[in-house]
A = this chain, B = another copy of it.
Amino acid sequence: MRVSPSIEEIGARAKAAARVIGGLSPAIKSALLESMADHVDAARAQILAANSADMELADAEGISGALLDRLRLTEARIDAIVAGLGKVAGLADPVGVVTKGWRMDNGVDVKRVRVPLGVVAVIYEARPNVTADAAGLCVKAGNAVLLRGSSYALRSNRAIGDALRAALVARDLPVDTVQVLDDTSREGATALMQATGWVDLLVPRGGQGLISAVAAEAKVPFVIDGAGNCHVYVDAAADLGKAEAITLNAKVQRPGVCNAAETLLVHRDVAAEFIPKVAAALRGEGVELRGDEAARALDGDMAPASNVDWATEFLDLVMAVKVVDGIGEAIEHIRRYGTGHTEVIVTEDLAAADAFVGGVDAAVTAVNVSSRFTDGEEFGYGAEIGISTQKLHVRGPMGLEALTCERYVLTGSGQVR
């Protein structure tokens, strides 16, 4: 049994590593990421063995199918991890970019420069691929990373972490740039959330329980990768063909993810035409529908929707349906129940689109586009560490830039005030 070091010890090691990693050139970081990919590739036997042990224990504890599936690693999934690290290696380096620059009247040159944050901590669930994905992004952005995964995945995470660390050692770089935390207890997570001075950014990736714990307990800076209670609003001026395609895609293409749609809002003027058609299509894909009174009047097979349904991120083949009197009611509904993730309007009316975009407060508002495009890959960020549903620092898909900050450098020749 390993003795877990204290969070201060872990933090101090990470800080020291971050100073070295933060100063590396883009070329050296790319080469390091490539090497990490190679080391994971070479360690696949050990990683798969560790994962088998995790799976056996989880199975013995009666863990459910969906969770087991997330926990499972296969040759193909390791291929994906290796490819992912290789892809991040090739992304444009965010560090050192001058985002703004000007000269003061007195001749002082001002640059606003992107720099690494320092130490990034990630708390996540039983998905071992996150160990490599998050580490790759954090390191590419010049940060050290603390990885606190689920106890169910501890062996898998350690095996992946060992491979990543071997790549650091092979290149004579600080091994503690990547640390997989042994302590997977609730207390350990709380200690990490409160490791003021050691953690520059905490990214919690998990369900509502984790998000609530972070909101209540965290003392370190964090970005909430929160719930996506996303809506599709079908306006009176919608092209109903597009509306049907978007609704179907947003609901069923991958129902278990945060950018899937949960509630369909339909303008009263098109409800009689649209709801029966879309309901049949959704049911054809296995979706269970829960409607308000007006929707049920048009489709007798819908179960009645409760206020709880409006507020629920189903993450499943379930959709709530509501008929609204107009765009104002749609906006009010979204303001009340939305989580600030992604909100969609389907309309051919420019004024309606503008009113929706102006009235809704979300990381992403989408006009005639499926909510499924709120995604780091789709945005061209190459990968994502999460999707921010808060307002400070960054909103929406978080790529490499979100793992940096901007500071100022002044250069002069003796200027004083």
Residues of A within 8 A of B (CB): 19, 23, 102, 104, 108, 110, 115, 117-118, 196, 200-201, 215-216, 219, 221, 223, 239, 241-242, 245-246, 248-250, 253, 353, 357-359, 361-370, 372-374, 378-380, 390-396, 405-417
Query: In the complex the two chains form, is A396's CB within 8 Å of B408's CB?
Result: yes
Query: In the complex the two chains form, is B392's CB within 8 Å of A393's CB?
Result: yes
8 interchain residue pairs of minimum CB distance: A249-B416, A242-B414, A369-B412, A366-B410, A392-B393, A391-B405, A364-B408, A372-B417
A369: chain B residues at CB < 8 Å are 108, 410-412, 414-415
With A369-B108, A408-B396, A409-B367: A23-B358 Cβ-Cβ less than 8 Å: yes
A367: chain B residues at CB < 8 Å are 409-412
Query: In the complex the two chains form, is A104's CB within 8 Å of B373's CB?
Result: yes
A416: chain B residues at CB < 8 Å are 245-246, 248-250, 253, 370, 372
Complex: chain B residue closest to A416, CB-CB? B249
Q: A208: shortest Cβ distance to chain B, in Å?
A: 15
Query: In the complex the two chains form, is B201's CB within 8 Å of A378's CB?
Result: no
Complex: chain B residue closest to A239, CB-CB? B414
**Bound-state Cα–Cα, A366 to B391, Å:** 30
A sample of 9 cross-chain residue pairs with beta-carbon separation below 8 angstroms, ordered by A number, consists of: A104-B373, A216-B219, A363-B407, A363-B408, A367-B411, A367-B412, A369-B415, A392-B392, A396-B408
Q: Which of B110, B215, B368, B394 contacts A379 (CB 8 A)?
A: B110
**Bound-state Cα–Cα, A353 to B365, Å:** 45
Query: In the complex the two chains form, is A412's CB within 8 Å of B368's CB?
Result: yes
With A196-B215, A378-B104, A379-B110: A246-B414 Cβ-Cβ less than 8 Å: yes
Q: Which of B359, B394, B407 contacts A364 (CB 8 A)?
A: B407
**Bound-state Cα–Cα, A182 to B326, Å:** 39
A363: chain B residues at CB < 8 Å are 407-408
Q: A234: shortest Cβ distance to chain B, in Å?
A: 12
A245: chain B residues at CB < 8 Å are 414, 416
Query: In the complex the two chains form, is A410's CB within 8 Å of B246's CB?
Result: no
Complex: chain B residue closest to A23, CB-CB? B358
**Bound-state Cα–Cα, A391 to B253, Å:** 37
Query: In the complex the two chains form, is B391's CB within 8 Å of A117's CB?
Result: yes
| Extra pairs beyond A249-B416, A363-B407 (6, CB < 8 Å) | A104-B379, A239-B414, A242-B413, A246-B414, A373-B417, A392-B392
Q: A322: shortest Cβ distance to chain B, in Å?
A: 22
Complex: chain B residue closest to A366, CB-CB? B410
A368: chain B residues at CB < 8 Å are 411-415
Q: A220: shortest Cβ distance to chain B, in Å?
A: 10
Query: In the complex the two chains form, is B362's CB within 8 Å of A407's CB?
Result: yes
Identify the interface centre among A118, A245, A367, A369: most chain B CB within 10 Å of its CB. Answer: A369
Q: Which of B23, B242, B412 contacts A366 (CB 8 A)?
A: B412
**Bound-state Cα–Cα, A357 to B200, Å:** 19
A412: chain B residues at CB < 8 Å are 366-369
A362: chain B residues at CB < 8 Å are 407
**Bound-state Cα–Cα, A300 to B353, Å:** 74
A200: chain B residues at CB < 8 Å are 391
Complex: chain B residue closest to A364, CB-CB? B408
Q: Which of B118, B359, B413, B414 contacts A391 (CB 8 A)?
A: B118
A373: chain B residues at CB < 8 Å are 104, 108, 410, 415, 417
Q: A154: shortest Cβ distance to chain B, in Å?
A: 29
**Bound-state Cα–Cα, A297 to B250, Å:** 74
**Bound-state Cα–Cα, A172 to B410, Å:** 44
**Bound-state Cα–Cα, A368 to B415, Å:** 7
Query: In the complex the two chains form, is B108's CB within 8 Å of A410's CB?
Result: no
**Bound-state Cα–Cα, A410 to B359, Å:** 15
Identify the interface centre among A108, A363, A378, A392: most chain B CB within 10 Å of its CB. Answer: A392
Query: In the complex the two chains form, is B396's CB within 8 Å of A249's CB?
Result: no
**Bound-state Cα–Cα, A215 to B218, Å:** 10
Q: Which of B246, B372, B379, B396 contacts A407 (CB 8 A)?
A: B396
